[in-house]
Chain A
Amino acid sequence: MRIHGLMAGLVLLSGSALAGDLGLPEVPIPVDNPQTPEKVALGDRLFHDTRFSTTGEVSCSTCHDAPTGWTDSPKVVSEGIGGKTGTRNSPTVLNAAFNKSQFWDGRSPSLEDQSQHPFINPVEMGLADHEPILAVVRDDAEYGEQFNKAFGVATEGITMDHVQKAIAAFERTVVSGNSPFDRWFFGGEADALNAQEQEGYRLFITKGRCVSCHVIEQTSATFTDHRFHNIGVGINRIQDDIAPLAHAFMKADATVEEVDVAVLTDPRSSELGRFAVTRDLDEMGNFKTPTLRNVSLTAPYMHDGSIETLPKVIEHYNNGGVTSEGDPVNDFLSGGIRPLDLSDEEQAALVAFLEALTSPVIPTSSTK
């Protein structure tokens, strides 16, 4: 079914959710945090509030900003208070609602849980604990009204649980599909992709070996398997030190908060990936498969922002999980990664396909 270009624009302007969501599965909504407009508006405001940092300059939107694909592209790693840098590239909030865990190493099981951690991380917002946040919202009359409307709670009764739920509810509205790929694959528009992009799709599901981790299904596509893999990024830097770094975590029996601090402040430990969270040797250097939707808006790439462009990403995979062809592969490389033997043309087609995953309409915020 062909939708005339102009008509497609009209459908979008009219705010039809359906047109914007083509290719997306239903947004999973937890039973204990149903979506309401009041909650979403409150979450939007909290998300953009810089008072929840020691310098009064950093909010969630500092690193997850709508105009830059809900990341801080082109920053390699994010910058928090006073320009302090962490070790990880900012993952996008756009379509994060579909992730089954949050953070590159999956140490958080939900959007609600994730939202509490950056506030108290020394290189992000730097607060010692969550009390300053509660002090601000309890003091602010407008917040008081918003929390009351959203949760039926009086000012003294506002807790971090409410804050987290509101932020998560807002993030669940930051979803977008309807890319040229979605229109071609799910919408049946035969010329929504050109020949090169279609060839890119074909390679994506065959020689490129992409689809097993960056999942496309028969009725929707999240482009992630929600699992964790070592694809040879970053870990090569610490190959000789894996034993002492790993042993430090194995002996320490760290809490989630301690892991949160360690992996963002120590660039070497950061490369242990999910191993730092589970201390399972099978997860050495593993990081979460991110979505590929809107990937052309979120350069640079990978958990450490170490790969600058999409062609370089394809090259990394083509080399079988090393930056330069012929480099030694790390011992813990995931079994799905191996040299691909793609021609230059084939690599270009894959890049073209990835660029066709960009949604025409990116949700913005009503808060500045």
Chain B
Amino acid sequence: MTKTSRFVAALALCGALFAGSALADEFTDNDVDHWMGEFKATADKGRALWVDGTLGSNGVACAQCHPNAANTHPETYPKYQKQLGRVVTIGEMINWCIQNPLEGEEMKLDDPRIVAMQAYVNFERRGVEMSPGKH
């Protein structure tokens, strides 16, 4: 933020305080829908990456072995992953799959594509109980 905009924000804050209403993290149903929409947009990008076969070098797509992201068990991470010899997050396992069956290059863990795929995978697995560490 620039110096000016910080000043404006500070003023706004004071104004809100003077108005006497509670702050905290207030949000409306519309906000919730809107933010879910933001998430869905990312998850949809993840789905597109999941099926398009361009993440690696051999044309294989994640969806070929994991239709609807089945058998990815996002609810079990972090967990001991024997293919990596240590406890890892699902992003690291996604990278393992990109490097190994897909014969591609790993990405940085905060790459928007990794985040998008995690969003997609978790969305397809919604409602399943958390079981961290479960093989």
Whether B84 contacts A209 by the Cβ 8 Å rule is no
- A218 within 8 A of partner (CB): yes
Whether B99 contacts A212 by the Cβ 8 Å rule is no
- B39 within 8 A of partner (CB): no
Q: Given A206-B99, A207-B99, A209-B100, are A215 and B82 neighbors across the interface (CB < 8 Å)?
A: yes
Shortest Cβ gap from A225 to chain B (Å): 9
Residues of A near B123 (CB, < 8 A) are none
Give complex CA distance A217, B85 in Å. Answer: 5
The tally of residues in B whose CB lies under 8 Å from a CB in A reads 10
Residues of B near A215 (CB, < 8 A) are 82, 85
Residues of A near B106 (CB, < 8 A) are 206
What is the interface residue range for chain A against chain B?
10 to 19
- B87 within 8 A of partner (CB): yes
- B86 within 8 A of partner (CB): yes
Main secondary structure of the interface of B (DSSP, over half): loop
Within 8 A of B (CB), among A318-360: none
Give B103's nearest chain A residue, CB to CB.
Answer: A338
Main secondary structure of the interface of A (DSSP, over half): loop
Give complex CA distance A312, B79 in Å. Answer: 35
Whether A205 contacts B85 by the Cβ 8 Å rule is yes
Whether A205 contacts B84 by the Cβ 8 Å rule is yes
- A216 within 8 A of partner (CB): yes
Residues of A near B83 (CB, < 8 A) are 211-212
Give complex CA distance A212, B84 in Å. Answer: 7
Whether B87 contacts A218 by the Cβ 8 Å rule is yes
Digitize A8-20: 1 where CB-to-B-CB distance is under 8 Å, 0 elsewhere: 0000000000000
Residues of B near A205 (CB, < 8 A) are 84-86
- Give the residue among B82, B84, B85 with the most A Cβ atoms within 10 A: B85
Residues of B near A207 (CB, < 8 A) are 99
Whether A218 contacts B82 by the Cβ 8 Å rule is no
**Chain A residues in contact with chain B, CB under 8 A?**
205-207, 209, 211-212, 215-218
Known: A211-B85, A218-B85; 5 extra A-B contacts, CB below 8 A, are A205-B85, A206-B99, A206-B106, A218-B80, A218-B87
A-B contact pairs, 10 of them (CB 8 A): A205-B84, A211-B83, A211-B85, A212-B82, A212-B83, A215-B82, A217-B80, A218-B80, A218-B86, A218-B87
